[in-house]
Structure 1
Amino acid sequence: MSSTGYVTLSRQGGLMNEMRIVANNIANAATTGFRQEGLVFSEYIRTAPDQPSLSMSRAQVRNTSMEQGALTQTGGRLDLAIEGEGFFLIQTPAGQRLTRAGSFATSANGDLVTPEGHPVLDAGGAPVFVPAGADVAIADDGTISADGQPLGQVGLYLPADPLQLKREDGVRFDSPAGVLPAEDARLIQGFLEGSNVNPVLQIARMIEVQRAYEMGQSFLETEDQRIRNAVKTLIRS
């Protein structure tokens, strides 16, 4: 394959990755607490002895948008939305994870849990207890009161090193460097934060990526035909 073919293939691979990411964003446009993803393209130089260097395309780094999603009033007493920078901290079998999805319920033993049953942690890193049948009120700092009596506080956290934050699935993130209290975030009871995906922009981006990929594919086919013709000419001569 010619050098131009290798360069084009590196770009095509990046475009395929971006198409998958954009499609996943669109699919999660209605997912509570979902954070939109993007792909970062970069250049790397491929060198070989006695060969000219090649400027190749690489698209392996993903970035996550932390823009605020739209808040929707649900009236659910255990539906919580975060306004500002911050995450809920939950305990999963794989360890503690961060999330913005605040649709919670209570377990059989009274713990505040996610729909998957993972306990929500308080400001001290312990599970949050909510008495069954109690009239629960949750203040904007996360303080939980039942029948007027304070019981605990839902923890709000930030990753200690945002650059190490890793998406584990659609709405959960791993922070290998640990977490810190989110001082400026506040909770709103009875609301949920929606996905921060803009479907119109994502569909427009999907069309752009598709057209760019088709253009690259057309170039590869033309280049392949050029090489075939050149080989045929050399054989005949």
Structure 2
Amino acid sequence: MESTGYTTLTRLSGLAREMDVIANNIANASTTGFRTEEMIFSEYIQGVDDGPSISMAQGNIRWIDYAQGTLSPTGGSLDFAIEGEGFFLVQTPQGERLTRAGSFATSNAGDLVTNDGYPVLDAGGAPIFIPPATDISVAGDGTISANGAPIGQIGVVLPAEPDRMQRQGGTMFVAEAGFDAAEAPRVLQGFLEASNVSPVAEISRMITVQRAYELGQSFLEREDERVRNLLKTLA
């Protein structure tokens, strides 16, 4: 295959991956705390003797948009949202993870857990015990009180390098470079943060990507026909 064919194929491969990213965004448009993903394309240029250089595009990097989603009131005593920067700290079987999804509950043992049953950690990295049959209130700094008496503080952390975080399990993130406690967290009780996905924008992106893919596919078909006609002529 000539260089034009390889160049087009790399472009189509990247567009296919971008379409997968867009489809995942749309599917999670109503998922609490979900963050939009985008595809970043890089360009590889190779010089050619006695001819123009070859440029190939490759979509190989997923970029996460950490912009805050809409904060919606729920009235739930164990529904929390972070206003501004920061993530809740959660303990999973694979290690500590970060999340913005604050729809929590209590386990049979009384620990504060996520919808998946993972313990929510306090500022010191320990599980948070919620006494049964108590009136739970949370201050702006994440301090939890039961019947007016403080019992702990929800851990809110800031990743050292947000751009290096890896998504895990939809709304969970792995902070490979580590994280630090937020100095002045702003936790809201009775609120949940919606996904920051814009369905209208994602559908518009999907149409654009689909048209670009069809254009590249049409070019490959015409190029294949050109080569076939050339071979027939030479034969």
Q: Give the superposition deviation at 1:210.
A: 0.3
Equivalent position of 1:128 in the other structure: 128
Number of aligned residues: 235
Equivalent position of 1:161 in the other structure: 161
Equivalent position of 2:11 in the other structure: 11
Q: Give the superposition deviation at 1:185.
A: 3.3
CA–CA distance in structure 2, aligned partners of residues 184 and 216 of structure 1: 50
Aligned partner letter, 1:34: F
Aligned partner letter, 1:220: L
1:167-206 to 2 correspondence within 5 Å?
167-206=167-206
1:206-225 to 2 correspondence within 5 Å?
206-225=206-225
Q: After TM superposition, which residue ranges in structure 1, 4 or more long, deviate above 3 angstroms?
A: 46-53
Q: Give the superposition deviation at 1:163.
A: 2.8
CA–CA distance in structure 2, aligned partners of residues 33 and 73 of structure 1: 14
Aligned partner letter, 1:129: F
Question: Do the aligned partners of 2:38 and 2:63 also contact (CA within 8 Å) in 1?
Answer: yes
Give the TM-score taking structure 1 as reference length: 0.96
Question: Do the aligned partners of 2:103 and 2:115 also contact (CA within 8 Å) in 1?
Answer: yes
Question: Do the aligned partners of 1:90 and 1:121 also contact (CA within 8 Å) in 2?
Answer: yes
Q: From the superposition, tell whether residues 111 and 20 of structure 1 become closer, same or farther in structure 2 (CA, over 3 Å).
A: same
Which blocks of at least 5 consecutive residues in structure 2 are unaligned? none
CA–CA distance in structure 1, aligned partners of residues 193 and 185 of structure 2: 13
CA–CA distance in structure 2, aligned partners of residues 157 and 33 of structure 1: 15
Which blocks of at least 5 consecutive residues in structure 1 are unaligned? none
Equivalent position of 1:55 in the other structure: 55
Give the TM-score taking structure 2 as reference length: 0.96
SS in 2 for 1:127: coil
CA–CA distance in structure 2, aligned partners of residues 183 and 205 of structure 1: 37
CA–CA distance in structure 2, aligned partners of residues 4 and 233 of structure 1: 21
SS in 1 for 2:14: helix
Equivalent position of 1:110 in the other structure: 110
SS in 2 for 1:183: coil
Aligned partner letter, 1:173: F
CA–CA distance in structure 2, aligned partners of residues 49 and 97 of structure 1: 51
CA–CA distance in structure 1, aligned partners of residues 154 and 184 of structure 2: 14
CA–CA distance in structure 1, aligned partners of residues 209 and 114 of structure 2: 36
CA–CA distance in structure 2, aligned partners of residues 17 and 47 of structure 1: 27
Bigger mean CA deviation after superposition, 182-191 or 73-82:
182-191
Could you list the per-position Cα deviations for residues 153-186 of structure 1 after superposition, in whole angstroms to 9, with x for gaps in the alignment? 0010111222321111210000112111122431
CA–CA distance in structure 2, aligned partners of residues 12 and 78 of structure 1: 46
Equivalent position of 1:75 in the other structure: 75
User: Equivalent pairs: percent with the same residue?
Assistant: 61
CA–CA distance in structure 2, aligned partners of residues 44 and 135 of structure 1: 60
Q: CA RMSD in A?
A: 1.5
Could you list the per-position Cα deviations for residues 43-93 of structure 1 after superposition, in whole angstroms to 9, with x for gaps in the alignment? 012468999742111111011001110111111000001110110010000
CA–CA distance in structure 2, aligned partners of residues 46 and 93 of structure 1: 45
CA–CA distance in structure 2, aligned partners of residues 107 and 125 of structure 1: 18
CA–CA distance in structure 2, aligned partners of residues 169 and 41 of structure 1: 24
Could you list the per-position Cα deviations for residues 105-160 of structure 1 after superposition, in whole angstroms to 9, with x for gaps in the alignment? 00111110001110000001111111111100011100000111011100101112
